[in-house]
Amino acid sequence: MTEVKAGLRVVAEELEPKAPNPLDERLAAYQSLRGASAEDDLYYRTTRDVVVAGRRWRKLANDRIKAAGQTMARWETLFLVAFSDHALTQSELAPLIGIEGPTLVRMLDLLAQEGLIERRRSTTDRRMTTNSITPAGRMVIDQIMTITNSLRAEVMQDIDPAELETTVRVLARIIDRLDEIR
């Protein structure tokens, strides 16, 4: 009998209305003035939620890996340098990371000074510098992956794997479309 009551309590909690999302309230106010279609509403909510989730993930991940003396931007750079099939140049890294010239050069120089990457003049074009990972850089990647894997599990633990697979497929299509439009 106790199990039945507990099950009913869970169902009742799921049926309770959640507090309104302030972003949804603002969207409703905007739409009342503009008269947006249901399709516009769905597209807006989707892109907004992708952006908000990305920002919140990055903030939380940055907070967690700060103890390791790293940031997500540094981790992304290390990861790309480590797992590319060749030593990457700055011009190859920039579009992958989304960081412009001077900022990227400063970060690469710092990573090199810390012994996490090695920067070398290209043997084919002396104007270019290639970047490759060092053993110390691989250790930092492993440390960050341990932290972020734990965070991923924490964030997604109660989400049905089938829903996550659908999310990954949909996001891949959105990313492909964005790349086509660019």
pLDDT in tens, 54-106: 999 999 999 999 988 999 989 999 999 999 888 888 888 988 888 887 889 99
In the predicted structure, residue 131 carries a pLDDT above the cut 60: yes
For 14-46, how does the pLDDT look when each residue is reduced to its tens digit (9 = 90+)? 545 566 677 667 766 766 677 667 788 888 889
The domains found in the chain, sorted by start residue, are: 44-182 (1.10.10.10)
Tokens of 39: 């399709």
pTM recorded for the entire structure: 0.73
Q: Where are the alpha helices (DSSP H) in 35-181?
A: 38-65, 72-82, 90-97, 101-113, 135-156, 161-181
pLDDT score, position 19: 66
Instruction: Decide if 138 contacts 97 (C-beta within 8 A).
Output: no
